[in-house]
Structure 1
Amino acid sequence: MAKTYEELEKNHPCFGGCKFNAGRIHLPVSPGCNIACRFCDRTINDVEQRPGVTSKIITPDEANTFIDKALEFVPNIKVAGIAGPGDTLATDYAFETFKKIGESHPELLKCMSTNGLLLYERADELIEIGIDTLTVTVNAVDPAIEAKLNEYVIWHGEKIYGEEGAKILIENQLKGIKKVADAGVTVKINTVLVPGINDEHIATIAKTVRELGAIIYNIIPLIPQHQLKDIPKPTCEQIEKARSDAEQYIKVFRHCAHCRADAVGVPGVSEYSKLVYQSRLNVRNTFSHG
């Protein structure tokens, strides 16, 4: 049964109302990615606090063990999320994990993040597994803009570059958002704000995804790195303008903590990932696409 937005506000730290009292665990079961964002630098390390980073990859069979351990530290964990470090739909591991969680911890909200390339074709599986909330990263709805942010997609084994790949990505994102939203899944949209590329495009994205059924929007400031390392991160004024542009059409979430793919605890209050996953790395290994 689909959760109401009011229920999510009380129990999900990415939906506003429970920011300082509800915890989550991110389960890093998805190793590979099928698109090449120009700002993305996914790594295996204990050093950085940002999306796409984890200290280890775990298996679906290990997930419940780590949830049990996390609940010892944070009894008020309400959400089991899968946010990488790769894309959750690029492999079957996220689906296998949620099946196991549904059997052992049915009380936890099931939350997934995806780039959306495979969202439309895997939507039925996602709906069947009982996902409560889905976050889709939509950085543009214009292929010319998206191509400046994403070098290529890997679409059914073929690497497709530029606007051609961007068009495939956007089409699948938008059709997928509508399909899962129509089925009752709560959809949140993330957009990475990149000055000079998509900062004047935010209102268009927000209007488009709201019309398809998304209900909340999160603007993530660019962390300059990889191919976009020379673009300055957005100023506070640019972020506020983007939020104002989006709020013409959709509710905006303003408390994103840039969580790692192995985050454990209450965002902004506690972090137990090292204790739960028993990681001892200080390296910065490169994550590869494929």
Structure 2
Amino acid sequence: MARRAAAHPPPSGPDQGRCPMAILPFSPRKRGRSNGQPRRLTLPIAHRANTRIRFAVVTDLTLTAITPDEAVALVDRIMREEGKVEGVDIAGPGEPLATPHATFECLSRLHRSYPDLDLGLVTNGLGGARLMDDLKESGLGRITLCVNAVTTVTVEKVYAWIRPGTRTVPLARAAVILLNEQAAAAAVCGRIGVDFSIATTVYPGFNDGEVEEIALKMAALGARAMILCPHRPMPGDMGCLAKPDRGLMTRAARQAARHLPVIESGSGPAPAGSPWRGGGPTAEISLPKPGPGRPNVAVTSESGMAIDQHLGQAARLLIYGPREDGLVCLLETRRVPAPGGGSERWQAMARIASDCFALLTSAAGEAPRAVLGSHGVKVVPADGDIEGTVDALYGGGPKKKNW
């Protein structure tokens, strides 16, 4: 995103913050070149969210994440069959830095294969400062930092929860952590030479009065541009917050443009807390579906309530599926071979889950994904409540059991 604004760098010297910047219309990058813009591809590999916007639909969009293997294979195919891709953004559906191993893997593999490929990351910045040097070493060239507030009062208005580590902390404390870590990530970008822009979603009545302050603070930290997105209500959104009108967006853009070049975008970030929905062609995503002989879903869980266990550490599989009346519920628990054993363990696990079309787990290596996948069991990295996530795979509501 920052490339378009690079032609309008922030001013330097004593007039910075008072001289109006450019306000540029946003044109999603389409297949091939459009208006001279390079073609970019969005890779949604983040399967875990660490924030949730207060007005979002409560649903597990992280199920739609693809694996680093799938992401790299997609870029390989496009490079081979359809021509050159000049840029890739790792963005959504969760937070890429909440699962840094997958982000590092994807960046490193793409950088090794295509050293001239412009690699970007869209993030809320939690954990970014400590990871930035390694991200740059892995090939990262640019960051879009999603900043929706610069005061704790506004953070608490906009976010339902924030999880800086492995656990959700009280929102008042988490708000301070979020703001500090966003500022630290921005500062590190400037220190090591990673180009960064910011993306701000306007939530009318909640943060629209803070847009200029966001632009001012981020400009001082070295941001190159602001991508300004209107909140976009989705069916079932909590709170029924309306989309900001044209007048409000115009005022916000003019205020922000006193400090940064502004790119106005027509679509806001994904509601589950993942920061991005637009910006280029996105990898096509399809969830596994039940089929003949495979009506069930296997889950790894330590607590029995959340998908919170690595596949390599699992001693059991929870089997969910439709009862005779069609309602999806926990059917049984199945023991699996103890950790260790390599390929034989994964082969045995595939046999144990032979009636399952998917296996939900907090994380899994390449080997088990390949072995189980070859036996018809799709390994799906996921995060959150078991019942809600399982229900999302079935599409909600009672299910027929006539497979």
- Do these two structures clear the TM 0.5 threshold for a shared fold by scoring above it? yes
1:242 paired to 2:266: no
* 2:208 corresponds to: 199
* 1:94 corresponds to: 103
8 Å contact 2:232–2:267 — kept in the other structure? no
Structure 1 residue 238: deviation in Å?
A: 0.7
8 Å contact 1:116–1:137 — kept in the other structure? yes
> Greater Rg, structure 1 or structure 2?
2
> Of 160, 164, 169, which residue of structure 2 is paired with 1:155?
164
DSSP 3-state at the match of 2:155: helix
In 2 relative to 1, CA 154–129 (structure 1 residues): closer, same or farther, beyond 3 Å? same
TM-score with structure 1 setting the length: 0.78
> Of 121, 135, 151, which residue of structure 1 is paired with 2:144?
135
1:210 paired to 2:250: no
Structure 1 residue 22: deviation in Å?
A: 2.2
8 Å contact 1:14–1:253 — kept in the other structure? no
1:32 paired to 2:48: yes
Deviation larger for 29-38 or 209-218: 29-38
In the TM superposition, 1:249-264 aligns within 5 A as: 249-255=259-265
Which segments of 5 or more consecutive residues in structure 1 lack a partner in the other structure?
45-52
1:75 paired to 2:83: yes
Structure 1 residue 95: deviation in Å?
A: 1.0
- Distance in 2 (CA, whole Å) between partners of 1:266 and 1:288 is 25
In 2 relative to 1, CA 129–27 (structure 1 residues): closer, same or farther, beyond 3 Å? same
8 Å contact 1:138–1:190 — kept in the other structure? yes
- Please give the root-mean-square deviation of Cα atoms over the aligned residues, in Å: 3.3
8 Å contact 1:148–1:197 — kept in the other structure? yes
- Distance in 2 (CA, whole Å) between partners of 1:156 and 1:93 is 17
- Distance in 2 (CA, whole Å) between partners of 1:43 and 1:22 is 33
Structure with higher RCO (Cα < 8 A, 6+ apart): 1
* 2:377 corresponds to: none
> Of 130, 147, 150, which residue of structure 2 is paired with 1:121?
130
Q: What is the aligned-residue identity percentage? A: 26
2:114 aligned partner, one-letter code: H
* 2:176 corresponds to: 167
- Distance in 2 (CA, whole Å) between partners of 1:211 and 1:62 is 38
- Distance in 2 (CA, whole Å) between partners of 1:252 and 1:196 is 21
* 1:57 corresponds to: 65
In 2 relative to 1, CA 143–159 (structure 1 residues): closer, same or farther, beyond 3 Å? same
DSSP 3-state at the match of 1:158: coil
8 Å contact 1:202–1:245 — kept in the other structure? yes
TM-score with structure 2 setting the length: 0.58
DSSP 3-state at the match of 1:81: strand
In 2 relative to 1, CA 256–54 (structure 1 residues): closer, same or farther, beyond 3 Å? farther
> Of 81, 103, 110, which residue of structure 1 is paired with 2:119?
110
Structure 1 residue 128: deviation in Å?
A: 2.2
